Amino acid sequence: MADVEQFRLEFVKNACFRLDESLRMVTISLDKISEEQFWQRPNASLNSIGNLILHLCGNMTQYGITSLKEIEDHRQRDLEFSTQGGYTKAVLLQQLIRTVQEVKYSLESVPLERLLKTKQVQGFEFSGIGNGIHVVEHFSYHTGQIAFWVKLLCDEQLGFYDGMDLNSLNGEFGM
């Protein structure tokens, strides 16, 4: 059983690291744009960054909080996309920060049985581990969209990894 608990802890640690990384990148991106750009839509088929933040909060709450904790879900998904203002960057960034913190707490505190238990979320059947994977990959996916949109708006690099040598090779294997 110790191996299973070690696996749970490793999974949670890495999921939380990835959530923090996406949050860091979104924060850097938001610092580069104006309030007007925050709600600007590239075209009628695409969402504003403000809509993406609302959507991330809704999705992470549904998958990473209400489903994992097995509490009532009040998500209004359509509003995440139809909203066209009314929130500042700072307000929605704080909402995103709080949501990420609560998801991390959910992952850290949910019992192993819930991580293994399958439940329906948005019509899909996922275990708690599946929910955690979904939250991380979904946040990462939209983080990339936000970064791309900010680069397009500002015509500059975002410096996510400034000061790091990303060309260094993997270390020795089997050590």
Give the domain 2-154 fold: Four Helix Bundle (Hemerythrin (Met), subunit A) (1.20.120)
Q: Taking the complete model, does pTM exceed 0.85, yes or no? A: yes
Q: Average pLDDT, stretch 104-115?
A: 95
Would you list the domain boundaries of the chain?
2-154
Task: Judge contact between 89 and 30, C-beta under 8 A.
Answer: yes
76-101 pLDDT tens trace: 999 999 999 999 999 999 999 999 99
Report the Cα 31 to chain-centroid distance in Å. 18
* 17-64 per-position pLDDT tens digit: 999 999 999 999 999 999 999 999 989 899 999 999 999 999 999 999
- Output the pLDDT for position 174: 60
Distance CA 58, CA 127 (A): 19
Residue 175 above 60 pLDDT?
no
Let me know how long the chain is: 175
Mean pLDDT over each residue of the chain, to the nearest integer? 94
Return the residue matching tokens 């949670």: 12
Give the side-chain half-sphere CA count within 13 A for 165.
Answer: 4
Identify the three-state secondary structure at position 24: helix
Lookup: tokens for 12: 């949670």
